[in-house]
Chain A
Amino acid sequence: MGITVSGISKRFGAFTALGDIDLEARPGEFLALLGPSGSGKTTLLRIIAGLEFPDTGTVAFDGVDVTNQPITDRGVGFVFQQYALFRHMTVADNVAFGLTVRKRSTRPAKAEIARRVEELLDLVQLKDLGKRYPAQLSGGQRQRVALARALAVEPRILLLDEPFGALDAKVRKDLRRWLRELHDRMGLTSIFVTHDQEEALELADRVVVMDHGVIEQVSAPEAIYNDPASAFVFDFVGESNRLPVSVRGGRAHFGGHAFDVATDGTRDGDATLFFRPHDVEIVGAGAAALPAVVSLARPRGGGTRIEARIEGREAPLELDYTGDAPPRPGDRIGVRPLRARLFPAG
């Protein structure tokens, strides 16, 4: 089932949570809404779910306008950040809830409900825990109960609000992979909210990066990382160094030093230069590069992470060195960004 969001805006008092959002999720797609807190990602998810209503704009499922339909009638599965399990019900009763509240005419028979619950618990690998109460489960188990409960009503759309936020790192990774498989197997269209870029890049077909209530970029994970559409995305996704420079005649100037970068038609004037720690060449001092003094060098991954101070910038640059003879603290080096991006200042 496809989801089309057009022209959505939402204000809470004087605070603009969302400003004119357009977004499309294709049938079967797994979409991540990524952004810092306050970026509006959760509000957007809640509007798609029908938990919140937009001030302007429409939400459509497969072309059918559902903007004014309450969540009760939308038939979406929603997994809450803290799971929102019913504490006074057993796991099985939690999962069965969506079926037992149906109108008598559409409600499955008791035996059928029990069978479906059994099936779902099997699916989320909680077969023997149906009689337990949520308080007796681990965080990862609760998460899966929440998922089984949401899936019980056979939604075509699954919405998840920070689904792994409350779990520890190990459980998080396992659940992630498992959730992706589930999504593919059941032919769902899923959208999940996260502030964890690793999660978004690993799990989603496309990542929607949001900031201050607007969408900065919608792309496949590789493109988000390799081809950020804005300074914000470059900064937010992955590690990066930023340097205020001025562009003149196809070269970037910083503190009296000039170096070659792809200016991509950036007009002359002030700009911000971004480059990733591994996208640099470290050369000897004096070469046509940014002069820097190594302040820290420690092994990391297969190479060495170097922190180097440059004049006119408070925070040191973060650089990766993969060669055999890493520079040592105190060494003078030249830094030459290989793949850098310029974004106009302001």
Chain B
Amino acid sequence: MSATPAPAHQRATAESPVARIVLIGVALAFLGLFLLLPLIAVFAEGLQRGIGPFLDAIVEPDALSAIRLTLTVAAISVPLNIVFGIAAAWAITKFDFPGKGLLITLIDLPFSVSPVVAGLMYILLFGSSGWFASVLADQDMQIVFAVPGIVLATIFVTFPFVARELIPLMQEQGRDDEEAALSLGASGWQTFWHVTLPNIRWGLLYGVLLCNARAMGEFGAVSVVSGHIRGETNTMPLHVEILYNEYNFVAAFAVASLLAGLALVTLVLKSVLEWRFDYHRGGTGH
């Protein structure tokens, strides 16, 4: 901001400086109250007895096992959704076929399904009275109330992130680059690796970032299928819930701080992508 005072009139259609300051003030107050304050509360509540109890809560075995499980689930579900996202975007943007609009809508579907309903679906399929109950019993396999169920539920809720980021991007980029590469004798795989991937890398990273944040933070869907077995099927968000319900607030907020830290890192990386690489996305993410 320059030190010189702005002239009395800037543009004929601009609000007066007073109106402008009031509007900015109200917007900032709303954001402060509804977004910033909760974020501060997480860290403040976690640290209210000092750094010692905070760290104890994080290195405690159940917490460590929750962290491990969360990382494992993300490490499985995110790559699967990356592969799916790229495949779906390739099929949709490089080829013409009837029903494309419907396919795009179906890919977006998980965004409009309540996470709890998502969890319920898998119980109806793999639970003790589910469609596949007898098959699973024969194989002595357990999906719900075990890690595979958690992974499935996580894949479902993070299903559209990569695809919906790549589809508009690749749509806009068209097929000319790929056609050029193919005409020069590149194989399909070479074309993808050397031409397509470099073109979509920031968009892909963006989608992966959001996908990962949701995968590590998912609560509702995972909660339904997890069975809440301490040290075994508890992810970090579920661990937070258990600690909270046991009135162990400091520990709950300490573990929550880790998740909030993850959210902040996600936002920073996302902003870096937007500012440094000028990568803008359209529409809304979830």
Q: Which residues of A contact B (CB under 8 A)?
A: 50-53, 55, 68, 70-72
Contact = CB atoms under 8 A, between A and B. Distances in A.
Q: Chain B's interface: helix, strand, loop or mixed, by majority?
A: loop
Interface stretch (B7-15, B20-28, B122-130, B178-186): B7-15
B7 A55 contact: yes
A58 to B, nearest CB: 14
B152 to A, nearest CB: 45
15 contacts: A50-B12, A51-B11, A51-B12, A51-B13, A52-B11, A52-B12, A53-B7, A53-B8, A53-B9, A53-B12, A55-B7, A68-B9, A70-B12, A71-B12, A72-B12
Nearest to B13: A51
Contacts of B9: 53, 68
A72 B12 CA distance: 9
Contacts, number: 15
A50 B7 CA distance: 15
Given A53-B7, A53-B8, A72-B12, 12 more contacts: A50-B12, A51-B11, A51-B12, A51-B13, A52-B11, A52-B12, A53-B9, A53-B12, A55-B7, A68-B9, A70-B12, A71-B12
Nearest to B10: A53
A168 B52 CA distance: 74
A55 B13 CA distance: 17
A50 B13 CA distance: 10
A50 to B, nearest CB: 6
A283 B86 CA distance: 73
B64 to A, nearest CB: 57
Nearest to A51: B12
B16 to A, nearest CB: 11
Contacts of B8: 53
A327 B214 CA distance: 79
Nearest to A13: B2
A71 B14 CA distance: 12
Contacts of A55: 7
Contacts of A68: 9
Interface in B1-57: 7-9, 11-13
A15 B34 CA distance: 42
